[in-house]
């Protein structure tokens, strides 16, 4: 008896595996070198069997629990989070990519959140509503770590919520903008 021949992989299947690998990187299942290697193999895969081997050892996507998204990653890509659930601590990593975190319509799990921003040759933009106090402690190396349009010097009411922004930018920008209105 002959073995069944695996079906040839399509571009859509290769892209779906690359998205699954990106998700595995963002949840910590893969290291950056593993992600790079597997993604290259995914785009050069000939059969569906080749693709299956790349994701066989990854945990299945967990069921939605309502918990906030604790990590965002942009590697040669762009990520935007709007209308999202913000946990007490969120980490953003941008390498040759752009991340935008919009807190104006986000649901906060706590009144004080910490956002760790790490950007190399990319941009990380944080949009904050005016009723939020921004505490920034980031480091820029040949880049920028900015807070624009902060709270007025004598607000009429104390800030109900606080966002603590830290991390670093290397040949990159981390921008925190306080936006009044939409």
Instruction: Tell me the range of 9-13, 32-36, 100-104, 150-154 where mean pLDDT is highest.
Output: 100-104
Q: What is the pTM (predicted TM-score) of this model?
A: 0.60
pLDDT tens track for 20-55: 887 777 677 888 889 889 989 999 999 988 988 998
Taking 80 as the threshold, does the pLDDT of residue 88 lie above it?
A: yes
Sign of CA dihedral 47, 48, 49, 53: positive
What residue ranges do the domains of the chain occupy?
11-55, 71-178
3-state secondary structure of 40: helix
Side-chain half-sphere CA neighbours of 13 within 13 A: 16
The per-residue pLDDT for 154 is 46
The residues, any chain, with a CB within 8 Å of residue 95's CB and separated by 6 or more, are 74, 75, 76, 119, 120, 121, 122
What are the residues facing 132 on neighbouring strands? 161
Strand order in the sheet with 144-148: 78-81, 98-102, 123-128, 173-178, 144-148
């Amino acid at each position: 008896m002959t073995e069944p021949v695996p079906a040839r992989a399509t571009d859509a299947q290769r892209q779906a595996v690359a998205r699954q690998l990106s998700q595995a990187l963002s949840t910590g299942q893969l290291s950056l070198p593993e992600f790079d290697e597997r993604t290259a193999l995914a785009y050069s895969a000939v059969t569906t069997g080749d693709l299956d081997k790349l994701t066989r050892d990854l945990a299945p996507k967990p069921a939605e629990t309502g918990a906030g998204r604790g990590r965002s990653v942009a590697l040669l890509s762009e990520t935007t989070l709007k209308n999202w659930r913000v946990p007490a601590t969120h980490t953003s990593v941008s390498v040759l990519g752009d991340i935008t975190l919009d807190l104006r319509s986000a649901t906060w799990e706590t009144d004080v959140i910490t956002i760790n921003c790490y950007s190399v040759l990319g941009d990380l933009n944080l949009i904050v509503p005016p009723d939020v106090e921004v505490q920034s402690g980031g480091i820029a190396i040949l880049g920028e770590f900015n807070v624009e349009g902060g709270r007025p010097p004598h607000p009429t009411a104390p800030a109900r919520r606080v966002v603590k922004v830290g991390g670093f930018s290397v040949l990159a920008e981390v921008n925190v903008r306080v936006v009044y209105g939409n």
